Structure 1
Amino acid sequence: MNLFDLHCDTLYKAVTQNLPLDDKSMQVSQILDNDSKRLQCYAIWIPDDYSPEKAEEIFYSACKKLSDECERLKIKLIGQNESISKCFKDNKYSALFTIENSTALNGKTENVKKFAKLGVKIITLTWNASNAAGDGADVANPKGITDFGKSVVREMENNGIVVDVSHASDKLFYDVCEIANRPFIATHSNSRSVTNHRRNLTDEQFKIIKERNGIVGINFHRDFLSENPDSASKYDLLKHIDRFLLLGGENTVCIGTDFDGCNLPEDIAGSESLSDIYEMLLKHNYKESVIRKIFYENALNFFENFDNSRIM
């Protein structure tokens, strides 16, 4: 079973708790079946209460930690100009460096280019509050994207970094729609039609991402999976996937687990549960060709085409 997971917070846990990436407490396991390949996006999460200076500092700490750990564990850390699909094909375990919350830029547009050279491939514009780029999903009266946010989006697109609108307020989402020249994505967001949570995407938002050739990763956080989080289960994943497929998302839906950064349903333990989820989809009459798209092919295809993509 191959996997391309668009989002986890394992790196943040490793940096802040001084743990190895393969610590037994991690929900992202380094153990793979013999015939499996995995490409894991490792996000450095920036909490909203971090100062911009502290955020930039933890970014560089995370950069070194991920580089050192990938060397130790023999994980292929993908660089700026390397083909993601080739790295996936040639390596059992590959990793992409991503950022969750653009506060890591420390208000410096020029940091976008610097971070791209260090291999950053995705930046989530906000976490839940407001930052220098715009407003997150928890902001009561969002003002949308700032002038700095507009310059960041332009620089990201110019330097091959993908804009991630997970955690964005609705206002920020539509502002990104106005200015984006390349496809953008939601690395870990579910369907608001299924679970009415502000962190989830509306049908219209999902369709916009789909129509612009972006992708959306299904989030395993129980609060986003069910209106009754305490009783959430892996079967709630089906409801969100079904909704997105109903909206024409066969080539859009991906996996964005949020492992090590969320409260999982009781029947999902971490990476070791993914094979059970794969089998669950098979038992619910999903074609295996569609499951493969969700688990890794859609994400690979997106990145294969991103560098040459433009929204007309």
Structure 2
Amino acid sequence: MKLDAGLFLILCITLLSSTTRSHVLDEAPLIDGHNDLPYNLYKLTENNLDKYNFEKNLTNDPVWGSKYCKSCFTDLPRLRAGKVAAQFWVAYVDCKVQYKDALAKTIEQIDVIKRFAKRYQNYLHLATSTADITNAFASGKIASLIGVEGGHSMDSRLGVLRMLYDLGARYMTLTHACNTPWADNSYVDDSKPVHNLTAFGRLVVREMNRLGMLVDLSHVSHNVMNQAIDASVAPIFFSHSSAYAVRNHNRNVQDSTLRKVKENRGVVMVNFASNFVNSDPLQASIEDVAKHINHIVNVAGINSVGIGADYDGVSSMPKGLEDVSKYPDLFDLLQAQNASRWTNENLKLLAGGNFLRVFQEVENVCSEYTTSMFK
């Protein structure tokens, strides 16, 4: 019997998965840049943690199961199966509350993340540093970090930005799906720039550098991506974006920017969402995500790529990456497709090594600012 190439590859992955399921993820932390579970907690329970059983596999749950909640993909058993070692939980509030109560609602979302980590402290460790991530991995816990999604949350006030950092936020996405008064979001690329990155926007970037907060460029316009990279004295990152050349969606990163990411020593955490990886979301597959990862490596290099899946933030995930249990299958696929590129060491860089290096450099820049202040 003759096997076609596609079936042969599937058999190889199946055999690999049955024996290893990406053993590299047992040796190095898998760090995901973006999960919107906190927003689902807000939508479905009004942040009442008693109504969400994190310890249970919720695949078929009448509230949290994917048949009933199209954007629900996360619980502890599946995170464990997915070998997730560190997760940025996102404090997100809708753009509709900009100029209203965005700050208050953002603080509520930070609060639910902290309460969630405390409630499940046997499994989760609230983390704010690279050391916290590595220590949590060593102890078998999932490092739980806080990201703020959308510059509208800081209400255009540097004092608020500083307080968000003090509350534990370690990245802020400069915009979400709306412009702030100082930066354009990605959808202006479908029309024309409004603000680009203003002088105040550059000040926000530099203040984030001083604080040791990661500058997240997912959701910003192409111009703002490049301008923010130029303004930053620390490496930047994209918490959940993919490659524009593979799928020409304005949420993805163009090659010209990928080359700047390489120069900046930053990292692009690849988004899995069906609509961002394939122009026909119904046909999106794990292979599409692999194409985005490989393209970023082709343009920006092996040190510029990571994982930011966007689970619980979108309503559709590709075939083969249906929930947070599936990360090892992606790593096995990459190695089966190209073992010379995806050595164990390079898979470890993808999993979390590149992000840890970026985060460490951001922390180092913060230390340099602090040292210079006292000279």
- The normalised TM-score by structure 1 is 0.92
Give 3-state SS (helix, strand or coil) of 2:100's partner: helix
Aligned-residue sequence identity (percent) comes to: 24
Cα distance in 1, alignment partners of residues 36 and 111 from structure 2: 16
Q: 1:294 aligns with which of 340, 350, 369?
A: 350
Change (3 A) 1:225 1:233: same
The CA RMSD measured in Å over matched residues stands at 2.3
* Displacement of 1:29: 2.6
Q: Please list, as runs of the form range in 1=range in 2, the aligned pairs for 1:139-218 lying within 5 A after superposition.
A: 139=188, 140-142=191-193, 143-218=195-270
Q: 1:17: which partner in 2?
A: 44
Q: Please list, as runs of the form range in 1=range in 2, the aligned pairs for 1:59-78 lying within 5 A after superposition.
A: 59-74=106-121, 75-78=124-127
Q: 1:304: which partner in 2?
A: 360
* Displacement of 1:169: 0.5
Q: 1:133: which partner in 2?
A: 182
**Partner amino acid, structure 1, of 2:106:** F
Give 3-state SS (helix, strand or coil) of 1:53's partner: coil
* Displacement of 1:150: 2.4
Q: 1:122 aligns with which of 156, 160, 171?
A: 171
Give 3-state SS (helix, strand or coil) of 1:41's partner: strand
Change (3 A) 1:233 1:34: closer
Q: 2:90 aligns with which of 43, 46, 60?
A: 43
* Displacement of 1:267: 3.0
Q: Which range moves more in the overlay, 283-292 or 2-11? A: 283-292
Cα distance in 1, alignment partners of residues 104 and 84 from structure 2: 32
Change (3 A) 1:267 1:87: closer
Larger proportion of helix: 2
Aligned residues: 311
Unpaired segments ≥5 residues, structure 2: 1-24, 46-50, 59-63, 65-71, 369-375
The 8 Å contact of residues 234 and 361 in structure 2, kept in 1 or not, is answered as no
The 8 Å contact of residues 183 and 309 in structure 1, kept in 2 or not, is answered as no
* Displacement of 1:141: 1.6
Whether 1:27 aligns to 2:27 is no
Q: 1:271: which partner in 2?
A: 324
* Displacement of 1:287: 1.6
**Partner amino acid, structure 1, of 2:163:** K
Q: 2:100: which partner in 1?
A: 53
Larger Rg: 2
Cα distance in 1, alignment partners of residues 82 and 88 from structure 2: 20
Q: 1:95: which partner in 2?
A: 144
* Displacement of 1:278: 2.0
Deviation readout 1:53-105 (Å, 9 max, x if unpaired):
32111111112111111111111111479644334434521111001101111
Unpaired segments ≥5 residues, structure 1: none
The 8 Å contact of residues 82 and 327 in structure 2, kept in 1 or not, is answered as no
**Partner amino acid, structure 1, of 2:263:** E
Q: Which range moves more in the overlay, 129-138 or 280-289? A: 280-289
Change (3 A) 1:230 1:296: same
Change (3 A) 1:255 1:90: same
Deviation readout 1:19-72 (Å, 9 max, x if unpaired):
537272231231254995510001122322223332111111112111111111
* Displacement of 1:292: 1.7
Cα distance in 2, alignment partners of residues 184 and 50 from structure 1: 27
The 8 Å contact of residues 130 and 360 in structure 2, kept in 1 or not, is answered as no
Change (3 A) 1:212 1:192: same
